[in-house]
Amino acid sequence: MLHINVLGLATIAQDVTPELARATIASVSVLGALHASPAVKSALADRMR
């Protein structure tokens, strides 16, 4: 599981499915902007800080 901390721009590729994102990302903290599909953002909403 990944714990992602970014200062600046974090981009999750458009071919990443919500299921894959939930299976591999434990938490996301971005001080800046997160670019991801709406479905991935929704899937990770409870893991964003």
Q: What DSSP string describes 13-36?
A: -TT--HHHHHHHEEEEEEEEEEE-
Entry pTM: 0.90
pLDDT in tens, 9-48: 999 999 999 999 999 999 999 999 999 999 999 999 999 9
Task: Indicate the residue type of 49.
Answer: R
For the purposes of burial, counting CB atoms within 10 Å of the CB of 6, is it exposed (0-12), middle (13-18) or buried (19 or more)? middle
Q: Which two tokens stand for residue 11?
A: 């981009």
